[in-house]
């Protein structure tokens, strides 16, 4: 029996198997729980996930692609498509991160409104717009007591994107809207 190095079993085996599937599944799902750990972690984990998944996919395709496809076509396609599919995290993870920031902004506005109704004088609440902290806008009249005049922005491989606006009504209703026109509609309602 010929001894095979452990790295060969994991990285360049004769045919794809559960080890390779496990590696790409880790690359695909690792960013999801880490996104909830905090804003400082999501970008390094995103880069690591895509590098691991797509990097392994490229290595496997170039070094083992044709032999794998001849020996185990379905396993090969499953492993390679999952490896390249880890690039979906480039789109999904920034959306999850902006959702978490919108929830944090909503909680901050809720707390501010409960304290203000109780008669405690406070400065306007602040929110993380993505590139800086900004105060909520406080209109003097109307059904809305606080809203984000600047959008919460998210990272995109095409550049930063406006993603959401948060507003709080006098009756306690909270809303997250996607566009500036939706925000204007809510403010005039």
- Distances in Å between the Cα of 36 and the Cα atoms of 81, 98, 112, 133 are 26, 11, 24, 19
Q: Can you tell me the distance from the alpha carbon of 173 to that of 25, in angstroms, rounded to the nearest whole number?
A: 39
Residues 23 and 13: beta-carbon distance below 8 Å? no
Task: List per-residue pLDDT tens for the chain, 189 residues long.
Answer: 455 677 666 666 777 878 888 888 888 888 877 777 766 777 788 888 889 899 989 988 898 888 888 888 888 888 889 899 989 888 888 888 898 899 999 999 999 999 999 999 899 999 999 889 999 999 988 889 999 999 999 988 888 999 999 999 988 899 999 999 999 999 988
Tell me what pLDDT residue 97 has: 86
Tell me what pLDDT residue 94 has: 87
Sequence spans of domains, the chain: 6-92, 97-188
Tell me what pLDDT residue 130 has: 86
Tell me what pLDDT residue 174 has: 92
- Distances in Å between the Cα of 61 and the Cα atoms of 12, 36, 47, 65 are 10, 33, 20, 4
Tell me what pLDDT residue 13 has: 72
Tell me what pLDDT residue 2 has: 55
Tell me what pLDDT residue 3 has: 52
Tell me what pLDDT residue 139 has: 92
Tell me what pLDDT residue 17 has: 79
Name the nearest CA neighbour of 22 among 9, 32, 3, 33. Answer: 9
Q: DSSP label at 118?
A: T
Tell me what pLDDT residue 5 has: 72
Quickly list DSSP for 46-86.
HHHHHHHHHHHHHHHHHHHHHHHHHH-HHHHHHHHHHHHHG
């Amino acid at each position: 029996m010929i001894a095979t190095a452990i790295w060969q079993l994991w990285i360049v085996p004769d045919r794809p198997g559960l080890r390779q599937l496990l590696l790409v599944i880790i690359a695909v799902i690792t960013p999801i729980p880490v996104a909830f750990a905090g804003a400082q972690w999501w970008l390094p984990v995103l880069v690591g996930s895509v590098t691991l998944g797509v990097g392994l996919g490229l290595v496997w395709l170039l070094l083992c692609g044709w032999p794998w496809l001849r020996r185990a076509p379905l396993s090969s396609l499953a492993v390679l498509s999952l490896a390249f599919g880890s690039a979906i995290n480039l789109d999904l993870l920034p959306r999850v991160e902006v959702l978490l920031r919108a929830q944090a902004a909503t909680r901050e506005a809720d707390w501010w409104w409960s304290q203000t109704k109780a008669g405690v004088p406070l400065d306007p609440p602040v929110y993380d717009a993505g590139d800086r902290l900004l105060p909520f806008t406080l209109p003097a009249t109307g059904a809305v007591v606080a809203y984000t005049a600047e959008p919460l922005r998210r990272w995109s491989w095409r550049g930063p994107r406006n993603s959401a606006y948060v507003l709080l009504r006098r009756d306690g209703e909270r809303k997250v809207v996607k566009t500036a026109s939706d925000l204007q509609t809510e403010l005039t309602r």
